[in-house]
Amino acid sequence: MPNVAHFASKRADLLVIEQSSTPIFDSGRQIGTKPGRLHQFSDHRIRVEGQKTIDFLRSRAQAPDGPEIWEIDASDVPSSTELLVELATADIARVREILQAESEGPARTEIVETCRKVLEKMGAAERGPGGAREKAESV
Give the pLDDT confidence of 106-128 residue by residue, as tens digits: 667 788 888 888 888 888 777 77
State the Cα angle at 106 between 133 and 7, rounded to 5°.
150
Over residues 96-108, the mean pLDDT reads 77
**CA–CA separation, 12 and 27 (whole Å):** 43
State the Cα angle at 20 between 39 and 28, rounded to 5°.
150
Residue 98: which pLDDT band, with cuts at 50, 70 and 90? confident
Which stretches within the chain are classed as H helix? Answer: 51-62, 80-89, 92-104, 109-122, 131-138
Top mean pLDDT of 29-43, 65-79, 91-105 is at 29-43
